[in-house]
A and B are shown apart, each in its own frame.
Chain A
Amino acid sequence: MKRPRIIVLVGLLLALAGYFAIYHVTLSCCGMPAKGEAAELGWLKQDFHLSEAEFRRVSELHQAYLPACRERCARIDAKNGELRKLLAQAGAVTVEVERALAESATLRGECQAAMLRHFVEVSRAMPPEQGKRYLEWISARTLAPQHDSMAPAAAVRPPEQHGH
């Protein structure tokens, strides 16, 4: 009698079919980005519960920010190159080196300011609560302490409780 073997086979095939179907459904609704410009930012829409219009605005801001950001990065790189060259020529921190250093710092400051302005703009394109959440999230990841290892132990230690 072949019926039991057919049942075994049908069970296995249905299990496999169910596995692949639910895998793709879950992946497409929870993680797989859409094609095109939304591919990179799809998660923002999902995580911060954006409407179509809000998402479009956030995408536009993102697309406008990137070329300007790349341009600023290129200027910083060029300035750093100049700084390296000056340092190699002089072999000391001369007035020219200090000036180039200050210019590089200014460029970096401008870049950071533009970045923060962009974050604020993006947060304003979101519903207020989500915008606040986005700003907290992105600040925590972009303004996190990066020099813990260089700071004195007292500076990184949590403040002590006052006795009174």
Chain B
Amino acid sequence: MNMNPSDPDPALSRLLREWQPQAELPPRFQDRVWERVAGEERPAVSNLWAAFRDWLDTRFRRPVVALGYVAVLMSIGLGVGHWHGRADAAQLQDELKARYLQQVNPFLH
């Protein structure tokens, strides 16, 4: 008998090649596989979120930091609001001036 060193049992190999499994896949097999894949990916995000929460916990444990954060955010809000308000007010003034000029000067087109 010719023995192939990479195939120690040719009979078993032949049997395996001929074997046709008849078992049916369970219902929603593919969906479950993808759910598991997604489940494997999720912890990366939740780990990031947890790390961020931990970082916040440690940072905001000090009242000075928490107050500073609130103050900075509020200053940004006030600053942007003031800037935006001035820009809109200037635009409105320009429109009113143009309207006035058109009213008093009928030759203006």
Contact = CB atoms under 8 A, between A and B. Distances in A.
Nearest to A44: B100
Given A14-B70, A21-B81, A119-B104, 10 more contacts: A23-B84, A23-B88, A25-B85, A31-B92, A32-B92, A46-B93, A69-B106, A72-B106, A141-B101, A142-B105
A7 interface: yes
11 contacts: A4-B66, A18-B74, A18-B75, A18-B77, A22-B78, A22-B81, A22-B85, A33-B96, A40-B96, A112-B107, A142-B101
Contacts of A69: 103-104, 106
A28 to B, nearest CB: 9
A27 B74 contact: no
Q: How large is the interface on B (under 10, 10 to 19, 20 to 34, 35 or more residues)?
A: 35 or more
A112 B93 CA distance: 25
B89 to A, nearest CB: 3
Given A22-B78, A26-B85, A40 B100 contact: yes
Nearest to B97: A43
Interface residues of A, number: 50
B105 A115 contact: yes
A137 to B, nearest CB: 9
B76 A15 contact: yes
Nearest to B96: A43
A105 interface: no
Nearest to B85: A26
B36 interface: no
Contacts of B105: 115, 141-142
Given A42-B96, A112-B107, A11 B73 contact: yes
